[in-house]
Amino acid sequence: MALTLEQAQRVGYTCLKALLRFAFMVANNLVAIPSYVLYLIVLQPLRILDSKSFWYIEGVLFKWLLAMVASWGWYAGYTVVEWGDDVKAVSEDEAMVLVNHQATGDVCTLMMCLQDKGTVVRQMMWLMDHIFKYTNFGIVSLIHGDFFIRQGKTHRDQQLVLLKDHLEKYYRSRNRKWIVLFPEGGFLRKRRETSQAFAKKNNLPFLQHVTLPRLGATQVILKTLVAPQENGTPSGGDALRKGSKSKGLQWVIDTTIAYPKAEPIDIQTWILGYRQPTVTHVHYRIFPVKDVPAEPEALTNWLYQRFIEKEDLLTHFYETGAFPPPQGQTKAISREMTLSNLWLFAIQSFAFLSGGMWYCLFQYLYHCLF
């Protein structure tokens, strides 16, 4: 079927816009990421003299980098509406964030909707698939202290040992407060069939919109970061006992991401912006960590229950376009998450000015030396 002139113009405009957005993203990465690395190299003496101040500055730069990623979607009209508990109330406490995983855009969505949650973004640690280590953002995450986990049965036990060591080495020493993980262990479309087969074999509920979560990383995080008095087990809080005055992990934030028509946004769409403006919906439930069981079997059941509830939340959303109201209430309240265009412009300008400064500096040094 031949395209009409109007359709051809629309396609041409979409392609041109995607090309310009991609060019800007590449330029943005070429100035922002090297600048982040170079600033931290210059600040290495401060890391030795006052590590707390060093990691504070690194956290600010890290937040600005994530804001740049968020801006790519924001300017394309990919916005966020939030539901459920207000996580700003616990933004200064330590929390573990459990998120369902549908596509690469889930990470971008979180980068956006956590920007206005106080110090959260600059003091958070991410658990991501090891493949992200080899992306353009990998060097940033390595410096920041995120953990890249390798999936698969053959790697599972070793990865959990490495995760525990990583948390003990970096979590308290860099003053981290929130840790974000995707317990399903992969994208929904890749894991759904296997998860449903496992559920059928073990008489567990049939899930369509999420998959059954894996216990390993969640259990290691709780055992390592929860203060012993919080969950009643003397084995908890290994990292906490290393001289930190932290109260330990205090909250579990169950986060559910929903896309209209169950069509997730991937990173390509986020960058190129070829989809029409889309509102992504994020639902939060906050649980005190003292209410989370420590024993493996009880913890597994607790974690399964959270994802069964996610299934119900998503089913309701896809049927009605809204999340259900909290128990005992008749209406669910949503909150539109907004970013300041002026602030985004300021940090983008800072990135490009920094890139120009470093380029001029290296040009000067080159001419001086050669």
List pLDDT tens digits, range 176-187.
999 999 999 889
Q: What is the DSSP letter of 89?
A: G
Strand partners, 284: 84, 255
Q: Are 18 and 273 in contact (CB under 8 A)?
A: yes
Label residue 1 by pLDDT band (50, 70, 90): low
Question: Using CA atoms, how far apart are residues 250 and 222, in angstroms rounded to an integer?
Answer: 10
Residue 325 in this model has a pLDDT that exceeds 60 = yes
What is the domain partition of the chain in residue ranges? 5-227+247-369
Q: What would the pLDDT profile of 63-102 be if each residue is shown by its tens digit?
A: 999 999 999 999 999 999 999 999 999 999 999 999 999 9
- Tell me what the mean pLDDT of segment 250-264 comes to: 96
Q: What is the reported pLDDT for 217? A: 92
Question: Using CA atoms, how far apart are residues 42 and 181, in angstroms rounded to an integer?
Answer: 31
Written as six digits, the tokens of 349 are 């300008």
Cα separation values, 82 from 89, 110, 213, 275, 335, Å: 14, 11, 23, 21, 5
Contacts by 189-197 with C-beta closer than 8 Å and gap 24+? 189/102
Burial of 350 (0-12, 13-18, 19+ CB in 10 A): middle
Q: What would the pLDDT profile of 23-33 be if each residue is shown by its tens digit?
A: 999 999 999 99
Q: What is the reported pLDDT for 155? A: 77
Residue 354 in this model has a pLDDT that exceeds 80 = yes
Q: Are 184 and 213 in contact (CB under 8 A)?
A: yes
Cα separation values, 93 from 230, 248, 260, 300, 355, Å: 14, 9, 32, 24, 35
DSSP 15-45: HHHHHHHHHHHHHHHHHHHHHHHHHHHHTHH
Question: Using CA atoms, how far apart are residues 212 and 197, in angstroms rounded to an integer?
Answer: 11
Q: What is the reported pLDDT for 246? A: 66
Residue 234 in this model has a pLDDT that exceeds 50 = no
127, amino acid identity: L
261 Cβ contact list (under 8 Å, min separation 6):
318
- Average pLDDT score, the chain: 90
Residue 230 in this model has a pLDDT that exceeds 50 = no
The SS3 of residue 9 is helix
Residue 237 in this model has a pLDDT that exceeds 80 = no
Label residue 284 by pLDDT band (50, 70, 90): very high
Cα separation values, 179 from 145, 175, 255, 359, Å: 11, 11, 12, 35
Of 331 and 121, the structure prediction assigns the larger pLDDT to 121
Q: What is the reported pLDDT for 245? A: 60
pTM, 2 dp: 0.90
Question: Using CA atoms, how far apart are residues 177 and 248, in angstroms rounded to an integer?
Answer: 9
